[in-house]
Amino acid sequence: MKSPLVVVIYDSITNSVFEGQVLQPLLVKHAPYRSVIIVSYEQTRPSEHAILKINLSHQNISLIIFERTTFDKCTTWRNARQLRSLLSTFNNYELFARGPLAARTALRARTSSCIRSIIQARGLLAHEYAYNIQPEQWTLLKRVYYYLFDILEKRIYQNAARAGYEIEAVSSALKTYLHARYSIPLEQITIAHQDIPHFFSEKTVTQWRTQSRHELSIHQERFVYCYNGSAKAWQCPAQIIQFFKERKQENRLAFLLILTQNTERFRTLCKAANLEQKDYIIRHVAHADIYRYLAACDIGIIFRENHIINWISRPTKVLEYRAVGLPIVHNSTIAWLSDSSRSDYSRSDSSQNLHKNRPTAVSMIHPEIQKHQ
């Protein structure tokens, strides 16, 4: 039996990406032959049902919940002591921390029995904090928090690099940012790939396509656009509906399938856009069923606001589109898509015109990265 893997997360087991981006990759890669312990720091304790469900997912995976408190020095050391108490029970183990907050606790708790430490960089802590603050809401305290988050991020990644820990970025753009912003050698940063969903076979996708279209009463001749995600402002929900409305004017067989938790918000947007109910379906589906419904579609849609945190991201929804072979319509605000998906537009559709002036990969350096180079 291999040494146990301890996975530390701060973004909650109730997060929409937990099952697909945390739990499933562990089940596929690690659980069959090694023990995996997920340590989650939660602001609000999840239901016992949610905890039990994860603990029963596989006999080799277990879940430990600790309270997530504020990020001042005192409470962080408390979190680290809790984790160290667990780690001290192992003769040897591997440590995986998801994001800088988890990394700060994990690296403080790390014992001499740790044989491998990996920090996964998934986003930009300070930028994400600032992103949700309107210009008129910037108080002195919020500026101080932004500064502290920026310093924390810098120290975590630089200290990890000096200690020889592995740093794993979710995209090449994030790797470039970490190198430019914090002077971390490029050779010390790898690109995450274990949490990318595998591609389903053409036979499976074809079967799902027939079954799902029958279930949803979507005629096989209709050209189905899909939006898979929520209705947060930075995900441009109104622009997505407007985009489909324009496609519908060009092609009377166009149809829109929206898979979302925010069903009421999208119903309001579709009604405001005067879309006919026969031309769209809005549905909330379990993660276990998401690929079956995506297979019913012909093309996936993902729009994002033009911001550094979107530029360096690798959205889960994009990975899900690609797993069933969908070409993707986007607005060139995600470097990972703009760089890797130019060959994906294999199906004939006028929406490809959206990308005819898209820049080439060599010119894709975000201004926020450029200023640090």
Q: For residues 143 and 59, state if they share a domain.
A: yes
Per-residue pLDDT of the chain (373 residues; tens, 9 = 90+): 578 999 999 988 888 788 878 887 887 776 666 789 999 999 888 888 878 777 666 678 888 999 887 665 556 788 899 999 999 999 999 999 999 999 999 989 999 999 999 999 988 989 988 888 877 889 999 999 899 889 999 999 999 999 889 999 999 999 999 999 999 999 999 998 887 888 999 999 999 999 999 999 999 999 999 999 999 888 999 999 999 999 999 999 999 999 999 999 999 999 999 999 999 999 999 888 999 999 999 999 999 999 999 999 999 899 999 999 999 999 999 998 876 543 333 333 333 333 333 333 333 567 666 666 5
Q: For residues 15 and 143, state if they share a domain.
A: yes
* 3-state helix vs strand vs coil in the chain, percent to 5: 50, 15, 35
Q: For residues 27 and 173, state if they share a domain.
A: yes
Read off the amino acid at residue 310: N
d(CA 75, CA 155): 18
Q: For residues 241 and 173, state if they share a domain.
A: no
Q: For residues 257 and 187, state if they share a domain.
A: no
**b/e per residue 74-106 (b: at least 16 CB within 10 A):** eebeebbebbbebbeebeebbbbbbbbbbbbbb
Tokens found for residue 303: 């729009």
Cβ atoms 225, 297 nearer than 8 A: yes
Q: Which of 191, 220, 252 is the last residue of a domain?
A: 191
Q: For residues 132 and 93, state if they share a domain.
A: yes
Q: For residues 182 and 243, state if they share a domain.
A: no
Q: Who's near 219: CB < 8 A, 6+ residues apart? A: 213
Q: Is residue 371 part of a domain?
A: no
Q: Is residue 370 part of a domain?
A: no
Cβ atoms 329, 351 nearer than 8 A: yes
pLDDT for the residue 201? 95
Q: Give CA 341 to chain center in angstroms.
A: 17
Q: For residues 185 and 206, state if they share a domain.
A: no
Q: For residues 180 and 47, state if they share a domain.
A: yes
Q: Is residue 81 part of a domain?
A: yes
Q: Is residue 197 part of a domain?
A: no
Q: For residues 184 and 294, state if they share a domain.
A: no
Q: Is residue 95 part of a domain?
A: yes
Q: Is residue 167 packed enough to be buried (19+ CB in 10 Å), middle (13-18) or exposed (0-12)?
A: buried
Q: For residues 273 and 139, state if they share a domain.
A: no
Q: Is residue 369 part of a domain?
A: no
Q: What is the CATH number of the domain that holds 216?
A: 3.40.50.2000
Q: Is residue 141 part of a domain?
A: yes
Closest CA to 124 of 96, 87, 152: 152
Task: Tell me the residue range of the domain where 89 lies.
Answer: 5-191
pLDDT for the residue 257? 98
Q: Which of 128, 163, 191 is the last residue of a domain?
A: 191
Q: Is residue 213 part of a domain?
A: yes
d(CA 121, CA 191): 10
Q: For residues 283 and 318, state if they share a domain.
A: yes
pLDDT for the residue 22? 85
d(CA 342, CA 327): 9
d(CA 36, CA 6): 6
How many folded domains does the chain comprise?
2
Q: Which of 164, 191, 218 is the last residue of a domain?
A: 191
Q: What is the CATH number of the domain that holds 81?
A: 3.40.50.11930
pLDDT for the residue 224? 97
pLDDT for the residue 20? 77
